[in-house]
Amino acid sequence: MTTNILEMRSITKTFPGVKALQDVTLEVARGEIHAICGENGAGKSTLMKVLSGVYPHGTYEGDIVFENETVEFRDIRDSEAKGIVIIHQELALSPYLSIAENIFLNNEVKGPLGLIDWNRSNQEAAKLLARVGLRENPTTKVMDIGVGKQQLVEIAKALSKEVKLLILDEPTAALNDEDSAHLLDLMLHLKEQGITSIIISHKLNEIKKISDTVTVIRDGKTIETIAKADVTEERIIKDMVGRDLEHRYPDHTPHIGEEILRVENWTAHHPQDPSRVIVDNVNINVRRGEIVGIAGLMGAGRTEFAMSLFGRSYGSRISGKVFKNGAEIKTRTVSEAIENGLAYATEDRKTYGLNLIEDIKRNISMASLGKLVRGGLVNDNEEFKVANEYRTSMNIKAPTVLAKTGKLSGGNQQKVVLSKWIYSDPDVLILDEPTRGIDVGAKYEIYTIINRLAAAGKGIIVISSELPELLGICDRIYALSEGTITGELPIAEANPESLIKLMTMEKPS
């Protein structure tokens, strides 16, 4: 084996109340492609942020040894100066600048007077583009090329900085098959040129295809590092999910009734690029008192499906039919969806769920102000009373309902969001990542609330990227991959392995 280019030794990173990384060790050999696997929230991105200096030296414990030298990065510039470049999932390119301008941003090719030498810039950029196999004019604006090509521009940018260790965070999540294949070939090609890469990915087939070594991380800990010869999908999956599932979920005895909601042939396209199918002919149904899970990896189209269903809040060229209690309903606007008994609690509370500068009371009443109107005016005493009832029944920890929601903890914010939707008295609730960013105790409370809603005869759809959560609370689980439902499992037949297989299944072309 060659010498290691990078060793991260006993890295521990703590956020207030959460140990994100615990004694993590990562050894990357020079010239290899090293894959890091793990569920969402396992700590992969945190580890990479520690490595690249986003979390500066001193905010974590442990040592980073790069090229046999202990390094202490204060910020991203420090790590880039050493030749470590990270390419994030969300690309960091300026859409209005040209490819060449982006490649040399903050690293400009200058002439004798300190002015930018455009001719040489474009010439150098063209050489780099040739290296990554991108046939585009360097003066083309980045906004005019697709995501796949933008990814290549990012890599060209990394090459311009004389990269020694290239880190790609879920590089193919947003790419189509062709672009993905090209990107993976490019990685192998760069390996031949002596560049070491770390790839973070969920896609097991990709990992098997290109990586020399795989490290699996779970719950902030290194589980094991597997050499290429020993890598099997089964082994990775087992490492990724193997944890104690007992006692994290309240008991739930389903009383399942008639079908309450059915979605037929639901299709939605990307809002900016209407030729891209994001949700592809989805058919699902939910019965009274049933908790139905939708499992899917990031980018599978889970949120996009829910939001396009809920008043066309996402997407373009949306088609399909929705039936409630057997009769077709329309959900063309959010208010129409609410009137027809749908509710959608977003995965991103702070951006889409709450008015953070407003109090608990006004957030709870937001979706159903009409119910509080007496004689044309909102009865604020009644509003106070209602909010107070929810504060008690949902156990929202705040001194009064006049507390601003921005000051509450994640769990209590989520309870406010749920209160808002329960008060709107829906028949079907779609809960998107209902426990994201919430501590364990509050999670249990949220699960209890979900059970209570199901027991009251409502239909519940839970979208989650945490498989144990879905397995712990659902009665039936759909798997979504690349916008299509790839399978449906009753809870008795569902297990992490079977679900991951469905979730990573590629679209039949």
> Under the rule (CB under 8 A), what is the footprint of another protein?
310-311, 313, 333-335, 337-338, 344, 346, 351-358, 362, 365-367, 369-370, 373, 376-378, 380-382, 384-385, 399-400, 406-407, 420
CB of 396 to another protein, least distance (A): 13
The nearer residue to another protein, 273 or 380, going by C-beta atoms, is 380
The Cα–Cα gap between 161 and 256 comes to 59
CB of 271 to another protein, least distance (A): 14
The Cα–Cα gap between 116 and 93 comes to 19
Q: How far is CA 265 from the centre of its chain?
A: 25
The Cα–Cα gap between 245 and 204 comes to 23
The nearer residue to another protein, 10 or 381, going by C-beta atoms, is 381
The nearer residue to another protein, 180 or 413, going by C-beta atoms, is 413
The nearer residue to another protein, 243 or 397, going by C-beta atoms, is 397
CB of 301 to another protein, least distance (A): 18
CB of 399 to another protein, least distance (A): 6
Given CA atoms 174, 436, 293, 391 in this order, what sign does their dihedral have? negative
- Long-range pairs for 103-109 at CB < 8 Å and ≥24 separation? 103/128, 103/138, 103/153, 103/156, 103/157, 103/160, 104/160, 105/157, 107/160, 107/161
CB of 305 to another protein, least distance (A): 15
The nearer residue to another protein, 43 or 353, going by C-beta atoms, is 353
CB of 338 to another protein, least distance (A): 5
CB of 113 to another protein, least distance (A): 38
Q: Looking at 161-311, list the stretches that DSSP marks H as alpha helix, in order from N- to C-terminal side.
A: 177-192, 204-210, 233-241, 302-309
CB of 54 to another protein, least distance (A): 21
The nearer residue to another protein, 183 or 417, going by C-beta atoms, is 417
The residue behind tokens 């960091």 is: 92
The nearer residue to another protein, 318 or 367, going by C-beta atoms, is 367
The nearer residue to another protein, 265 or 400, going by C-beta atoms, is 400
The nearer residue to another protein, 265 or 333, going by C-beta atoms, is 333
Helix (H, G, I), strand (E, B) or coil at 48: helix
In DSSP terms, which residues pair with 269 in a beta bridge? 277, 316
- Long-range pairs for 134-140 at CB < 8 Å and ≥24 separation? 136/99, 137/99, 138/98, 138/99, 138/100, 138/103, 139/98, 139/99, 139/100, 140/98, 140/99
Is residue 254 a contact partner of residue 289, using CB atoms and an 8 Å limit?
A: yes
CB of 355 to another protein, least distance (A): 3
CB of 351 to another protein, least distance (A): 6
The nearer residue to another protein, 151 or 346, going by C-beta atoms, is 346
Q: How far is CA 414 from the centre of its chain?
A: 18
SS (H, E, C) 114-160: CCECHHHHHHHHHHHHHHCCCCCCCCCEHHHCCHHHHHHHHHHHHHH
The Cα–Cα gap between 127 and 123 comes to 7
Q: What angle do CA 410, 412, 415 make, to 5 degrees?
A: 110
